[in-house]
Structures are given as structure tokens and as C-alpha cells.
Amino acid sequence: MCSESSATVVTIDGPSGAGKGTLSQLLAQRLGYRLLDSGALYRLVALASMNKGIAADDEAALSSCASTLDVEFAPADGGVTVLLEGVDVTMAIRQEHVSMRASEVAAVELVRAALLQRQRDFAVAPGLVADGRDMGTTVFTGAQYKFYLTASAEARAQRRYQQLCERGESVDLAVLIEDIQARDERDQSRATSPLRPASDAHVVDSTNMTIEQVLEQMLATIDA
């Protein structure tokens, strides 16, 4: 496997709902690079630990669970199938209670340390697009291109509101805004790898931009 130094690494960090997932996927496709969805790894630790009956505050057991995680990201039609111990958990890791547990396990320093090398191993030639919260600040500090994608809490909540309405779920926009603000506060104030732009990151505010406009701006930065 190639090391990070022989692969071009593009990092995309930022708060929930800023469009990182979609943009990382589009950017990886356009560049022909591999994709790392680091949030999925935290979600997998959450699901695996719940399956094993590990308590949310048992840091040693959570860390052991993270370092022995048996996962596979298999390319599927227009996306990726996530396998945990051979079982398709692509949808299961997106459930609300898994999201909650993922945010708790992501605050455990031992878990973050246990996932570090696993994330770095994704960097193979010709390149990697790494999506997360600490890709540019901790995991790939030497990345050639770093982006910090953000948008106002209101714009991010509005996007989520539209997604949920399209799925026929009834939600309150004001509650979504409050949830997003609470999650931002938790991500930005945690002791280990808090969410913040790397000093050499290009900050992109997508509040008034379409996905296509953001993608073109990122590609132009990389070309330049």
C-alpha cells in the first residue's frame, strides 16, 4: 500500500450539514481519487460497541472495539456499501440512535487514537479525498489541499428540513436549527481534535452557493 506521501490528499472538514459528504463524493469522482468517509468509522464503532453491549463510558472497551473493527467499504451503484463483520450496515449506521452514540464515542481520545492509522491507510495513489472534522488538523496534516466547508446554521437546517420533508417526515425547522447549533457547540468544544479550520485550509462558506458552484470553486483551487 502506498504511503500518504505518494498520494495527493484533499481534506474536507466542517460542521454537520455543510454538504461535505456530497462534495467529497463528487470531488473524488472528478479527480479519480479514493474517498474516506471518516464519520462512517465513528458510526461503525458506535454500532459495533452497542452490538457488543459496551457501555458509552467504558473507554478501554470502546478503544479495543475501534482497533479490532472488522469493516469493509465496498463500491456499490453510485455509492458505497458498508460492511461490519460481513453484514451490510450501510443504512443501520445512519439511524438516529447510532448518530448520538457516534458523537459520544468520537469524543473519546483512545477511540480517536485507535482509528488514526486506519484512516491514514486510505491514502493511496493517485489520491484521496478525506471527509470529516479533523482531516486537515490531525489525520492528514501534510495534505496538499485542505478545505473547510461551512454554512450558516439556518442554511444547514433548511437543507436538512427539505431532505426530511421529501422523505415524508414531519419536522420542526426551529428544532433542527437548535439541534445543529448544539452539535456545533459540542464538536467545537471537545478536548480532542475539536472542529476548527486548519490554519492552511481554504474556508468555503456555502450558505448562498449551490453544490455545483462549490465543486467548481474547489476544483479551481486544486487546478491553480
**Number of C-alpha atoms within 13 angstroms, CB side, residue 19?**
26
Taking the complex as a whole, the smallest distance from the CB of residue 157 to ligand DC amounts, in Å, to: 15
Taking the complex as a whole, the smallest distance from the CB of residue 223 to ligand DC amounts, in Å, to: 26
Q: Which is nearer to ligand DC, 177 or 195 (CB)?
A: 195
What residues make contact with ligand DC under the rule CB under 6 A? 16, 38-39, 42-43, 102-103, 106, 132-134
Q: Among candidates 126, 145, 115, which has minimal Cα distance to 2?
A: 126
Taking the complex as a whole, the smallest distance from the CB of residue 69 to ligand DC amounts, in Å, to: 14
Q: Which is nearer to ligand DC, 155 or 187 (CB)?
A: 187
Q: Which is nearer to ligand DC, 94 or 216 (CB)?
A: 94
CA distance 110 to 10: 25
How many angstroms from the chain centroid is the CA of residue 120?
A: 14
Q: Which is nearer to ligand DC, 204 or 220 (CB)?
A: 204
- Sequence-ordered list of residues with C-beta below 8 angstroms from that of 219, at least 6 positions apart, any chain: 27, 30
Taking the complex as a whole, the smallest distance from the CB of residue 135 to ligand DC amounts, in Å, to: 6
Taking the complex as a whole, the smallest distance from the CB of residue 220 to ligand DC amounts, in Å, to: 25
User: Is the Cβ–Cβ distance between 129 and 12 less than 8 Å?
Assistant: yes
Q: Dihedral, CA atoms, 46, 164, 206, 116, nearest 10 degrees?
A: 10
Going by DSSP bridges, is the β-strand pair 145-150/202-205 parallel, antiparallel, or unpaired? Answer: parallel
Q: Which is nearer to ligand DC, 114 or 224 (CB)?
A: 114
